[in-house]
Structure 1
């Protein structure tokens, strides 16, 4: 029999998982449609997507930071202020999106060149990137509004908005790429339209709530600056995370094409498997924030304990499925025997690290919900310092990509220990409307 806490947790986590799974659908649809235009177009899409994904990933703090801030105020019963913080987050997303788009448009050829696009792929990458940058403000608004709604314990609306946008993206792209004849530009434009639709939908929901609770919709410069300042540690944490992952790619590439190909497949598997415990982390952000905002630290403790149990359970299930289904998915990814052998071994490493990662993701979510983001940024720096010598040893000794992924497991473990110590100390249990 599920407890009330379990039911609330799952009621938030399951829709959050659906929304997380909807996000890769945009890239999968674009890849499938553009792939039929030709290899240069598909290569161009890969280059442009790498730029866009990194830009959006670096701005993920717009979702996490807004969730924590809004949940605190909502938990304390101050819905007017909660919606005001959500509106501040939206304006911050618009400002960042417009700034990045304005910077990226003239620099598109430079960015494409830095990523090593070939002469045949570069023109397609530039076209796709420039059109996609026009939709970047909408993408960031989706992050901010999703964060605001999560803070209000609404994970279903983001699921519907992103899910329908992902579905609409397919016929839009097909129409614009083929009958209209825009080629790769049509794929980019279709995705921009779908993202703008999701952003409009989510904005309408937040704005309607803000009006209902008499929150101002106008840009509030002090509020936007405060949101930016509060999110700075989360941005630093994300940058350090990206550095670690880029180091992994560099080391894998140094071991040859087979190592790099297997690393890419392993990273895809790792990313997808992390979504189940990550959805529990998202639920814990909202529940912990609400409880601490309401001055109920024991409720926050109980919510965090249940989130950890569900997160670890989902991590273990994912690990078992990863190992059991190896004969099914490994041949799907590649026909190269050398790559297959490496992926077969890498699956064991990823499975072994799943419980470690699951605990870490949920603990991260708990501390983000508590507003303890400066500590998280510090732990990410410590983990990076721990990881670099391990990655360097793999590079210098040519130990191979499997050893590199064991080093990643060590990186996860270092972060988990640091965050677990904070969790056990109860220093994060600060109650009140702000962390």
Structure 2
């Protein structure tokens, strides 16, 4: 299910790429900012899964569903605040990221800000979907979330083609049509999750649907660690986009296309680890340490094999796959630089994301926070800005991402071997 949104975004890039190079660059930067905004709240998904799974494993289904109710309240409240803050700031953010050194860059700024201002209204339902995914995975309900996401994205996929290019009965909106399609699709998915949490809460005997300060406070403790971890990712990726933009529109468009493929593969591998997260949480909640260790071992093997196979696919498709997104030869030439970094990092990612899932399932968020911050500050971020200072181009930026992944690999492998993540019982 996690790969459905990035698959849709790849379709979005391919559709918008036919409008022109600066529209593709604008979409790439705007979707990056939207991703940064929404993924800062990943604790609504990952943290809620860990907490719900432990309660479910301990036989407390009512408590597990109650975690979802409270996470949904956080999603709606924070989402509304983000819309109010980011709507007026969208043009300023885009000018900082892209710069205004040329007429073409100015057009990218205007288009990206316009797209973001429309799509921002979907943030509350994006966060609501994260919360829904979290508690439903925690109670081992994995089928419905897939259907909900597919329902919303299927509508969005039809609309993005129709509204962007004016196909059939749809008006020709150009790039804003992509944002409208995104907003409608996210809205459908979010409403489905909201209806489900209300129905399940009533069926499971949850005492009240009102906000519960005790539960919300406990969720926000884990949120602190996961938000800091996520923030370190996003500062790096925003910095990378800003530096890539200084190398030209073709460079930033190429960077964002390959980065979106990286995001797709990250979530593909996360989808393998997400089951482990729920199972590890449930096993530790019930005191079954041996089961948790076995799950960690199996998911790592499967993830590495899957990542290796996909690396082979992208290596063989190095000439063909980029042409699905653009026919602009300058962008295609620029894509060739980060492409092989992307391919080489996939087997590393197979291990890192699998073990991330295990540690998230165990509630070991504080360690992941520290490890990610160190990897970002000591590896990725310095190389991004050195690339600008010494004109290393996209090669320097993607070397930074490679170092970042290697440092994370070292950290999570050590943590798993140490055994310190094997804490049993239900978190307060």
TM-score of the pair, normalised by structure 2: 0.86
Match of 1:317 among 280, 302, 309: 309
Once the two structures are superposed, the pairs formed by residues 1-400 of structure 1 within 5 Å of their partners are 19-28=1-10, 45=27, 48-116=30-98, 125=112, 127-172=114-159, 178=166, 179=169, 181=171, 183=173, 187-215=178-206, 216-255=208-247, 259-333=251-325, 340=332, 343-344=335-336, 346-387=338-379, 388-400=381-393
Q: Report the equivalent of 1:5.
A: none
Unaligned runs of 5+ in 1: 1-18
Q: How far 1:358 sits from its partner (Å)?
A: 1.2
The answer to whether the 8 Å contact 1:34/1:42 transfers is: yes
In 2, distance between residues paired with 1:314 and 1:61?
26
Matched, 1:409 2:396: no
In 1, distance between residues paired with 2:402 and 2:204?
46
* Partner deviation per Cα, 1:386-434 (whole Å, 9 max, x = no partner): 2144445544444443344233222111111111111111111000011
More deviation, 378-387/67-76: 378-387
Q: How far 1:383 sits from its partner (Å)?
A: 0.6
In 1, distance between residues paired with 2:200 and 2:33?
34
91 and 367 in structure 1: CA distance in 2 versus 1, 3 angstrom threshold: same
Q: How far 1:205 sits from its partner (Å)?
A: 2.3
Find the residue that maps to 1:135 and give its secondary structure. Answer: helix
131 and 394 in structure 1: CA distance in 2 versus 1, 3 angstrom threshold: closer
The answer to whether the 8 Å contact 1:315/1:354 transfers is: yes
Please provide the CA RMSD for this pair: 3.0
Equivalenced residues, count: 417
Unaligned runs of 5+ in 2: none
The answer to whether the 8 Å contact 1:276/1:311 transfers is: no
TM-score of the pair, normalised by structure 1: 0.85
In 2, distance between residues paired with 1:231 and 1:161?
25
* Partner deviation per Cα, 1:87-143 (whole Å, 9 max, x = no partner): 111111011111111222343443444444766566655554333333221111011
The answer to whether the 8 Å contact 1:48/1:128 transfers is: yes
The answer to whether the 8 Å contact 2:22/2:249 transfers is: no
Find the residue that maps to 2:45 and give its secondary structure. Answer: helix
Find the residue that maps to 2:424 and give its secondary structure. Answer: coil
Find the residue that maps to 1:242 and give its secondary structure. Answer: helix
354 and 336 in structure 1: CA distance in 2 versus 1, 3 angstrom threshold: same
